[in-house]
Amino acid sequence: MKEDRVFSKPIEKQFEFDEQIAAVFDDMLKRSVPFYEEAIALTKRFALAYLKEGGRLYDLGCSTASTLLDIERSLTVHAELVGIDNSPSMLEQAQRKLSVFGSNIELKEGDIMSYDYKPADVFVTNYTLQFIRPPVREQLIRRLFEATNAGGAFLFSEKVVSDEKRLNKLLIDGYYEFKKNQGYSEYEIMQKREALENVLIPYTEDENKSMVERCGFAHCETIFRWGNFATFIALKR
């Protein structure tokens, strides 16, 4: 796994999932998202619980397909696993992994906003919604709700913010301390923050729950949270 040092030099553009990011993305996730592996383990557990025999699961913004591979290894039913991403560089990295493991996962290059989804038992988005502009974010959730089978689930992880100003600062400070402990320098943290400004737009925990419930999901529960990172499950009756 290649070490993430992308932001050790001056940034030249806003954050995007290009070849440079794709090459170090797995390391970036593990060192940038607190308890990433635990959150993904929970995602897998709940995804498997709602994925039926002959069913389908979509991972939107699947990046290098790590989550899909983890789910595939634990499958006890015959099901179709589909990963969608709009970054050719990410999909190239993903395809290399799938080839090594002899995987049956299907990868699709496409825009998750306009993709023609087939009915599915489970939809997964890991730290993906936060990159979709707020004016259209809800449009995507409505489309996912419509494509989710009755009794199905939508699992998503997001960076979150707090409405309380001082608390929000403490959450951010705690997160930056976490990143320093993972070996990132003050300069790298600052550079990445600037690159992500106006690109990554997080909601509060309550805003995320209200959004999916407005779109039709019967219930939304937080199944994991550390500081300003949370994992949710939304259910369709």
Quote the CA–CA distance of 117 and 131 in Å, as a whole number: 20
pLDDT at residue 200, as a whole number:
87
pLDDT at residue 106, as a whole number:
98
pLDDT tens readout for residues 35-51: 999 999 999 999 999 99
Q: Identify the CATH class of 11-235.
A: alpha beta
pLDDT at residue 228, as a whole number:
96
- pTM equals 0.91
Quote the CA–CA distance of 55 and 52 in Å, as a whole number: 5
3 state SS of 122: strand
